[in-house]
Amino acid sequence: MDAKLFSQAIVKFLSGLLIVGLLLFLPAGTFAYWQAWLLIGILFIPMFVAGLVMMKKSPELLRRRLDAREEQAEQKAVIALSGLMFLAAFPVAGLNFRFGWIVLPAWVSYAAAVLFLLAYALYGEVLRENVWLSRTVEVQENQTVIDTGLYGVVRHPMYMCTLLLFLSMPLVLGSVISFVIMLAYIPIIAKRIRNEEQVLEAGLEGYAEYKKRVKYKVIPFVW
């Protein structure tokens, strides 16, 4: 086992857990915010298990997933906007619980949790299908076009999964206001995809032909 990679993964995992906890429980003013515990459970338990699996079976994929250092200014802006989106949506959800602005029935949180886990499972399938997945926009050495499985349905199945994940999160937290805030992810990810496809067309052999074969970017028959 790569001790350095393991340490890096554990530090990022615990940091993420701490940040999410602070963003939710501090505004809520209580640890009795049960929807926050539900989200933390369905978010971090599968993440921990997936990290262990990648550590054992595909450490290079895990290393690429941990590396979020973008070189392009446009992509740095996308990451910053995504961060601001979460910094707004999570505390608002906590405040919504604290002050009872708009109270959703419990079944909405449970249904959204099921959708979240289904999206997580799809995300795992994307990781299995594409060993080149990286958190940064780049063309890697010896990279080839993946056009089977989910990549035969949409060109960016990872973003399809993250869209489902991000839009289900505020509903798990029981916050309609946070859901509206998270809709900002759509134009944010559209900006990232435009830049990513320019990079891939310029540097990845066969990607232009792949775009002609697979028409939809994120949502079949819609986008």
pLDDT in tens, 50-73: 888 888 887 877 776 776 665 566
Q: Do 214 and 153 form a contact (C-beta atoms < 8 A)?
A: yes
- Assess whether pLDDT exceeds 80 at residue 212: yes
- Assess whether pLDDT exceeds 60 at residue 217: yes
Q: Quickly state the pLDDT bin for 137 (edges 50, 70, 90).
A: low
Residues 167-180 have a mean pLDDT of 98
Q: Is the dihedral of CA 93, 161, 126, 86 positive or negative?
A: negative
Residue 134, pLDDT score: 59
- DSSP assignment of the chain equals --HHHHHHHHHHHHHHHHHHHHHHHHHHTSS--HHHHHHHHHHHHHHHHHHHHHHHH-HHHHHHHH-----SHHHHHHHHHHHHHHHHHHHHHHHHHHHTSSPPPHHHHHHHHHHHHHHHHHHHHHHHH-TT--SS----TT-----SGGGGT-S-HHHHHHHHHHHHHHHHTT-HHHHHHHTTHHHHHHHHHHHHHHHHHHHSTTHHHHHHH---SSSTTT-
The token duo for 215 is 């028409």
Q: Could you give the domains of the chain?
A: 3-213 (1.20.120.1630)
Name 26's Cβ contacts closer than 8 Å, sequence gap at least 6: 91, 94
Residue 144, pLDDT score: 83
pTM of the full structure: 0.90
- Assess whether pLDDT exceeds 80 at residue 74: no
